[in-house]
Structure 1
Amino acid sequence: MNTRALGPLRIFPATYEVAVRGFWALAESDNVCSDPTVFRPALVGAEARLLASRMISTRLNLEPPWSAQYLKGTPEEGERLSHWMAQDYLVETWNQAWSPERWTETLHGFRESRHTRAFLVERANEPFAYVEVYRLLDSGIARFDEWGSDDLGFHIAVVQRELTGQGLGSAFVPHLIQTLFEQSRNTRRIAVEPHVNNLVSRRVFERSGLIPVREIQLPHKKAVLQVCRRAAGTHVA
């Protein structure tokens, strides 16, 4: 099972992106604390905490038999994804049969943006799926609804054909949704946008609580927007 023919378009408002980069450069620099002459952007207190809260976690705390490894953009990760995405069934559904170098660059770009995170999900310590988690307001479907600032979307590609058609997607997707809600306490909605003709994925998503809302036209596909809302009474401010 795979859910996507098109990756999210990463649209970053310029001023916000500059502020984010400034904040993280400050947070990650070893020299800032030791050298009083280093310029410090005026991004402190509540503003800094607000920006930090908008960053998607690099952790995906799945329960056994599932586990997740955060992908940082190493050459080895690029090699593996290039190999997996060259398989016929993923070429058909993802259309991202890219070179190892392009995949490495893509993963590195996700890491730098901090609005998209990529993970390798394993089942019983064996590769199961490539998963991208992204913020809806910074994606190609931002214009199709009034998303909250913490609302999330995801894409998933099962990386081995022999693992498809066994009901593993139906077991994993609800757990992924639950995990995202638990980890991102201010997330009110989670969305996916499978191709309109991808009936298998659409059914898996709907059984997992992602309700079809409308058909939408993206640059490279006609998709169905499916949305899951956080259960009433479980939101933590």
Structure 2
Amino acid sequence: MTAETPDTADIRIRPLDPLKDAELIHPWVTDAKASYWLMQGFKLQDVEREYMAIAANPHHDAFIGTVDGAPAFLMERYDPARAELVGLYEAEPGDVGMHFLVAPTDTPVHGFTRTVITAVMRELFADPATARVVVEPDVRNKAVHALNEAVGFVPEREIQKPEKKALLSFCTRAQFEAAVGAAA
């Protein structure tokens, strides 16, 4: 992917294999910039265990995203009525929860993370059953709040999760399409 053309990159998303991909994502989720993933200090086996648990959960999935053939981001999709947000808000039919993490790099490309979150949202809305995407980032994570807003998320309120105070936000298909200027 070049700095001049982040939006023309070939982005693909595939299921994460916890045993094969743990070594790949371990440095991503333990990087200082990934502090909001709460995996600082995790050993490789801890990451394997975490993603084995996700793989075993019928309401939570993890994926690896590649950009121009190179692994570049991690994506999680979950049913917020059955995982992550149970009892913290009134789930609606068609709600899909999402997390994403861009791999650390020594050569950042302007616009790359926005390109990734746009691709993640397109992937989620490719399922006609998805009515809106739900996120719950840490309230202190101002960078992700700005990215979320750029793709159409609207904050609803702060919620207290066991591990963090989070900003509950929603993005409908129409809000996403209006924000990115193209059909999902």
Superposition TM-score, scaled by structure 1 size: 0.64
| 1:69 corresponds to 2:14 | yes
Give the corresponding residue for 1:137: 81
Structure 1 segments, 4+ long, off by >6 Å, are none
Q: Which has the higher strand share?
A: 2
**Cα distance in 2 for residues equivalent to 1:203 and 1:163:** 21
Q: Determine what percentage of the aligned residue pairs are the same residue.
A: 24
What SS is found at the alignment partner of 1:107?
A: helix
Alignment map for 1:1-237 (pairs within 5 Å): 65-74=10-19, 76-90=20-34, 92-97=35-40, 98-162=42-106, 166-183=110-127, 185-231=128-174
Count matched residues: 168
- Go from structure 1 to structure 2 and tell me whether the alpha carbon gap of 1:118 and 1:164 turns closer, same or farther (over 3 Å shift): farther
Residue identity in the other structure for 1:79: E
Give the corresponding residue for 1:21: none
**Structure 2 regions of 5+ residues with no counterpart?**
1-7, 178-184
**Cα distance in 1 for residues equivalent to 2:106 and 2:155:** 28
Residue identity in the other structure for 1:72: D
Checking the alignment, whether the CA contact within 8 Å between 2:33 and 2:104 is kept in structure 1 is no
Deviates more, 1:96-105 or 1:119-128: 96-105
Give the greater-gyration-radius structure (CA).
Answer: 1
**1:161, distance to aligned residue in structure 2 (A):** 3.3
Residue identity in the other structure for 1:138: R
Output the aligned Cα RMSD.
2.3
Checking the alignment, whether the CA contact within 8 Å between 2:60 and 2:83 is kept in structure 1 is no
**Cα distance in 1 for residues equivalent to 2:108 and 2:63:** 19
Checking the alignment, whether the CA contact within 8 Å between 1:158 and 1:164 is kept in structure 2 is no
Deviations 1:29-84 (A, max 9, x none): xxxxxxxxxxxxxxxxxxxxxxxxxxxxxxxxxx951111211321x322222232
Superposition TM-score, scaled by structure 2 size: 0.81
**Cα distance in 2 for residues equivalent to 1:117 and 1:156:** 12
